[in-house]
Amino acid sequence: MSKLTLQNIHIRYGDNAVVHDVSLTVEDGQIGCLLGPSGCGKTTLLRAIAGFEPVTQGTVILKDQVISAPGKHLPPEQRNIGMVFQDYALFPHLSIASNITFGIHKQSGKDKAQRVAELLELVNLPGYEKRYPHELSGGQQQRIALARALAPRPRLLLLDEPFGSQDVELREMLAREVRDILKREGITALLVTHDQHEAFAMADEIGVLQAGRLQQWDTAYNLYHKPTNPFVAGFIGQGALIPGTVLNHNTVMTLIGPVQGLVPEDCLTESAVHVLIRPDDLKLVADAPRKATVASRMFRGAEYLYTLALADGSQILALAPSHQAYAVGNTVCFELDMQHRVILPAN
Ligand SMILES: Nc1ncnc2c1ncn2[C@@H]1O[C@H](COP(=O)(O)OP(=O)(O)OP(=O)(O)O)[C@@H](O)[C@H]1O
C-alpha cells in the first residue's frame, strides 16, 4: 500500500474553478477523509485522484509516482486504485463470488476462489459465494462492494459517500467495521462524506473543505477542540461563536463574562475576537449571576439541547439532563465550565 500526496491541486470545469490549492498527505496505511457541505468539491478531488478528471495545476503523487499533473495523466486503469461508491453497483445477475472476481479476471480459477474466500472472511461474510446481491441486506452488499474493490489488491482505496444509502444509525457502525477491515489489511484510503459522525468513526485524519478550499487537515479531536478558523469551528460539532474583546494574552471579555484561553498572537489588546462556546462549556444551575432565556430546546433522550438567548440577542447552546427540564421562555442561570479554549480573530 502507498502514501498519497496532493500538492497544490487546482481543478476547473471550463471557466468554473471548483478546487483551489489543495495540499494534503495520507500516510501509508492511514485513512484520510474529505468532509464538507454539498458542492464543495469532494467528489471532484476524488475523481481527479482516480484519474477521471485532469488537474489544472498541482501534482498527485502515489507512492513516489506522479500520477496527475498538468501535461501528465496516468490513465485510470493503470493507477491500480480501488473505488467504492454509495450505490455499490453490484451486478444483480452475478453471484457474490463473480461480483468479487470481476476485476481479477487474469487469475486462475483456483487463485480466484482462494481470494474470494479470503475476502469474504475479511468482510465477515464467509460462505456467501453462491448467493446473489438481492439476498443480502444493504450493509452486507456494501461489504461485498468493498471486497470487490480490494480483490485486485489496489495501491489506494477511494470511498465516495459509501454509507450514504444506509440508515443513519447503521452508518456509524458500518464505518467502524470498514475501518477495522482496512486497518487489518493495512490499506491506505481516502473517504469522502458530508457526515461528520461517519468521518469521526472511520478516519485517522480529516480535511474540512469549503467552496473548494481545504480549511484544516487534522485529527477529529483537533478539529473539534482546536479549530483554526470560524468555518471549521461552526461546521464541526455544535457551538456558537460569541463576540469578545481581548483584555490580555490570556483573557477575553465577552457578554457572559471573562473567558480564559490562549489569545492568538496576532490579536492585540482591545481587538475584536470570537470565542467558541460549545454546549458542554455551560452548566445550568439553580442560581448564578449569569442568566439567559430558553429560546428552544430539543429532546435528546438523556439530555435536552437548549438554545439560550443572551441579553443582546445572540445565542448559545447548553446541554442539561432531561429530568431537569426548562420550558421555552424560562429564564435560566448558568455557570461557565470551559472545556474548550478556542479564541479566533473576528475577521
Ligand atoms: N462534470 C461537471 N461539470 C461542471 N461542473 C461540475 C461537474 N461536476 C461537478 N461540478 C460542479 O463542481 C462543484 C463541486 O462538485 P462536487 O461534485 O465535487 O461536490 P461535492 O462536494 O462532492 O458535493 P456532494 O456532496 O453534493 O456530492 C459543484 O459546484 C458542481 O456543480
Residue nearest to atom 6 of ligand 1 (CA): 13
Ligand 1 pocket member 188 (CB < 6 A) = no
Shared domain for 173 and 243, answered yes or no, is no
Shared domain for 245 and 287, answered yes or no, is yes
Distance 41 CA to ligand 1 centre (A): 6
Shared domain for 205 and 309, answered yes or no, is no
- Closest atom of ligand 1 to 40 CA is 21
Distance 53 CA to ligand 1 centre (A): 12
Alpha-carbon span 116 to 103, nearest angstrom:
12
Shared domain for 205 and 263, answered yes or no, is no
Name the residue of 10, 15, 18 whose CB sits within 8 Å of the most ligand 1 atoms, as the mutation to test its pocket: 18
Distance 43 CA to ligand 1 centre (A): 7
CATH number, domain containing residue 153: 3.40.50.300
Ligand 1 pocket member 194 (CB < 6 A) = yes
Distance 163 CA to ligand 1 centre (A): 19
Shared domain for 93 and 30, answered yes or no, is yes
pLDDT (tens, 9 = 90+) of the chain, 347 residues, equals: 589 999 999 999 999 999 999 999 999 999 999 999 999 999 999 999 999 999 999 999 999 999 999 999 999 999 999 998 877 688 999 999 999 998 787 777 778 889 899 899 988 899 999 999 999 988 889 889 989 999 988 999 999 988 877 777 778 888 898 899 899 889 999 999 988 989 999 999 999 999 999 999 999 999 998 899 889 998 998 888 888 999 998 899 998 888 888 788 888 888 999 999 999 888 999 999 999 999 999 998 899 999 999 988 889 999 999 888 899 999 999 998 876 678 888 87
Among 180, 207, 230, the domain boundary falls at 230
- Closest atom of ligand 1 to 194 CA is 25
Distance 50 CA to ligand 1 centre (A): 15
Alpha-carbon span 241 to 245, nearest angstrom:
13
Shared domain for 208 and 133, answered yes or no, is yes
Within 13 A of 51's CA, how many CA atoms are on the CB side? 17
The number of folded domains in the chain is 2
Distance 330 CA to ligand 1 centre (A): 45
Distance 39 CA to ligand 1 centre (A): 5
Shared domain for 112 and 25, answered yes or no, is yes
Nearest CA-CA partner of 338 in 231, 233, 256: 256
Shared domain for 36 and 96, answered yes or no, is yes
Ligand 1 pocket member 41 (CB < 6 A) = yes
pLDDT at 174: 84
pLDDT at 88: 67
pLDDT at 256: 87
Shared domain for 225 and 272, answered yes or no, is no
Residue nearest to atom 18 of ligand 1 (CA): 41
Ligand 1 pocket member 13 (CB < 6 A) = yes
Whole-number Cα distances in Å, 127 to 11, 92, 145, 197, 314: 44, 18, 16, 32, 58
Shared domain for 226 and 295, answered yes or no, is no
Among 197, 212, 230, the domain boundary falls at 230
Nearest CA-CA partner of 332 in 298, 283, 276, 259: 283
Shared domain for 259 and 119, answered yes or no, is no
The angle at the Cα of 173, spanning 43 to 115, to the nearest 5 degrees, equals: 75
Alpha-carbon span 245 to 268, nearest angstrom:
9
Distance 100 CA to ligand 1 centre (A): 29
Among 230, 261, 293, the domain boundary falls at 230
CATH number, domain containing residue 331: 2.40.50.140
The domain containing residue 117 runs over which residues?
4-230
- Closest atom of ligand 1 to 53 CA is 1
Shared domain for 337 and 218, answered yes or no, is no
pTM: 0.86
Ligand 1 pocket member 40 (CB < 6 A) = yes
> Looking at this predicted complex, what is its ipTM?
0.96
Whole-number Cα distances in Å, 247 to 257, 261, 270, 276, 293: 12, 11, 6, 17, 27
Alpha-carbon span 145 to 154, nearest angstrom:
14
Ligand 1 pocket member 15 (CB < 6 A) = no
- Bridge partner residues of 277 (DSSP): 240
